[in-house]
Amino acid sequence: MITRRDILVKAANFCAYQERTHAEVRERLQKWEVWGDEAEEIIAYLIEDNFLNEERFAKIFAGSKFRVKQWGRLKIKYELKARKLSEYCIKVGMAEIDDEDYINTLQEILEKKKHELRTEKQPLILKQKLARYAIGKGFETDLVWEMIGKIVPKK
């Protein structure tokens, strides 16, 4: 029989391993057959002892997905919503992305993709492929087309 203390230790270790959302912890507690008030008490304990902090999760998630995977704001925001974070936490996480870095990253990924597509001779097809790639990474459509206009010469 697993005691409440054992569950608390397991939950704390689960949160200490990497940042988690309340929904992820609730899901894990259900796998351990902990429901209702008991699960909520454990989550409250984890929040009080700072094992669980959705603001911190949002900041780390948004910052790392942008810097490491070079995701755009739309994709990051979508993922944060899918993880059931509040609008406030999403806003806090999105604030981690500096506007200048964002524009520079978009330009870098488009330049790199343009280099990969250097055999493409038709400018319209090149522009389409670049746009599809950047929009797929979650960058805003208007921003993508504006940047493509700057990096692909008009012929």
Residues 27 and 68 placed together within one structural domain of the fold: no
- Domain CATH code at residue 21: 1.10.10
Together in a domain, 130 and 143: yes
Three-state DSSP class for residue 72: coil
Q: How many domains does the chain have?
A: 3
pLDDT at residue number 49: 96
Q: What pLDDT score does 136 carry?
A: 98
Question: 85: domain range?
Answer: 54-94
- Specify the pLDDT at position 155: 63
Same domain? For 90 and 107 the reply is no
pLDDT computed for residue 3 by the predictor: 85
How far, CA to CA in Å, does 114 sit from each of 92, 118, 126, 138? 33, 6, 8, 18
67 and 81 part of one domain: yes
pLDDT at residue 120, as a whole number = 87
Q: 115-140 as b/e, with b when 16 or more CB fall inside 10 Å? A: eeeeeeeeeeebbeebbebbbebbbe
Q: Mean pLDDT by 10-residue block, N- to C-terminus, for the chain (155 residues)?
A: 88 95 96 93 96 97 98 98 97 97 98 94 94 98 97 80
Residues 84 and 116 reside in one and the same domain: no
Asked if 65 and 43 sit in the same domain, the reply is no
Token output for 39: 């699960």
In whole angstroms, give the CA distance from residue 66 to residue 61: 8
Nearest to 54 by CA among 78, 27, 29, 90: 90
Residue 150, both tokens: 């700057």
